[in-house]
C-alpha cells in the first residue's frame, strides 16, 4: 500500500476498486475524512495523463490496500536549438544574402 499524504503519486487500478478498469496515475491532494466501510477511503486529487499533467480533478472511493505508488516517465531530452548551439560555439555561419536587384555600375 502506498503512503497517503498530500502530494503522493498513486497508481489507481482495479485492485483499488472494480470501477477502475484502466489504471491511471493520481496526485493526491488530501484524504477526505468521510465515514466509510472499513478499509475504504475517499481521496481528493488529480487524475494525470501519461506525461504527468493533470487532466481532471476527482474524488475517488478506493480500498487502501489496492493503491500502489505511481510513476511518471522522466521527460525526454529536448532538442537543442540554434541559440543553444551558439552558446557552445557550434553554430554554423549564416549564409550571406545576395541582393535582389542587380545594379549596373557601367552607366555613364
Measured between alpha carbons, how far is 42 from 29 in angstroms, rounded to an integer? 11
Alpha helices in the chain (DSSP H): 82-88
Average pLDDT over residues 35-50: 95
Buried/exposed 58-94: b ≥16 CB within 10 Å, e otherwise: eebebeeebbbebeeeeeeeeeeeeeeeeeeeeeeee
Is residue 64 assigned to a domain? yes
Average pLDDT over residues 21-30: 96
Average pLDDT over residues 34-52: 95
Strand-pairing partners, residue 25, are 11, 48
Average pLDDT over residues 14-42: 95
Residue, of 53 and 90, whose pLDDT is higher: 53
pLDDT of residue 61: 97
Residue, of 53 and 85, whose pLDDT is higher: 53
Measured between alpha carbons, how far is 62 from 52 in angstroms, rounded to an integer? 21
Mean of all residue pLDDT scores within the chain: 83
Is residue 17 scored above 80 in pLDDT?
A: yes
- How many structural domains are present in the chain? 1
Is residue 101 assigned to a domain? no
pLDDT of residue 78: 64
Average pLDDT over residues 41-52: 95
Is residue 102 assigned to a domain? no
Structural domain range at position 25: 9-69
Amino acid at each position: 500500500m502506498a503512503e497517503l499524504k498530500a502530494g503522493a503519486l498513486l497508481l489507481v487500478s482495479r485492485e483499488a476498486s472494480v470501477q477502475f478498469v484502466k489504471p491511471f496515475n493520481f496526485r493526491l491532494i488530501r484524504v477526505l475524512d468521510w465515514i466509510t466501510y472499513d478499509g475504504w477511503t475517499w481521496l481528493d486529487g488529480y487524475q494525470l495523463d501519461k506525461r504527468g499533467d493533470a487532466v481532471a480533478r476527482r474524488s475517488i472511493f478506493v480500498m487502501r490496500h489496492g493503491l500502489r505508488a505511481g510513476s511518471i516517465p522522466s521527460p525526454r531530452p529536448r532538442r537543442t536549438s540554434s541559440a543553444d548551439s551558439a552558446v557552445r560555439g557550434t553554430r554554423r555561419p549564416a549564409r550571406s544574402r545576395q541582393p535582389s536587384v542587380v545594379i549596373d555600375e557601367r552607366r555613364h
